[in-house]
Chain A
């Protein structure tokens, strides 16, 4: 079993939809959670990071962590065609290296 599981998609939604992207992890020692966005043929860019359970909001993006279920989510409101990219979750357990999910490909069509 992988330490971080992420559905690769692809996920196709109409413009304006609410998008939900998810990852599960196996090690309860993980405490630091990140979402990266990667456009085609580019390097991943850090989108959001959070340390604790609960929600963190940044504009149209909300990161949610449920440590009891070992489940993290990224919500995108009012999705735009410019949000079309691959979204990678990443998890760290303190002093340990970052572990990336496989990435979910998202396509937002006009």
Chain B
């Protein structure tokens, strides 16, 4: 079982509020990811990190930002939430990929509803 945690699990918030979604892992993994997934739809990579002080944008443009100050912690922040940000946000982690590729482990997700 993967040791990766996300809080809150559910969040209902009004438009214009600043929110931070927390993600932490205890596996010592270097790489961490944030995905956005609408119900019944594909995973879309929005941010990833190779390690401390490393952050990169993913395939899907996002108004969110991330930081990686500690190996185990990878929070995602929305400065001003909008209804279009309503979605499920999934955090994942993995070891740095080797010759055989990588395996990602996912947290339980945060379901965000912006009113």
Query: Which residues of A pack against B, CB within 8 Å?
Result: 31-32, 34, 36, 41-46, 49, 51, 86, 88, 90-98, 100, 102-103, 105
Contacts and interface: CB of A to CB of B under 8 A. Distances in A.
Report the interface size class on chain B: 20 to 34
B101 A96 contact: yes
A43 B109 contact: yes
Contacts of B94: 98
Nearest to A98: B104
Interface of B: 2, 6, 40-43, 45, 48, 88, 90, 92, 94, 97-109, 111
A44 B106 contact: yes
Nearest to B106: A43
Nearest to A51: B100
A43 B101 contact: no
A100 B45 CA distance: 10
B103 A94 contact: no
B107 A95 contact: no
B106 A31 contact: no
Given A94-B97, A96-B97, A105-B40, A43 B103 contact: no
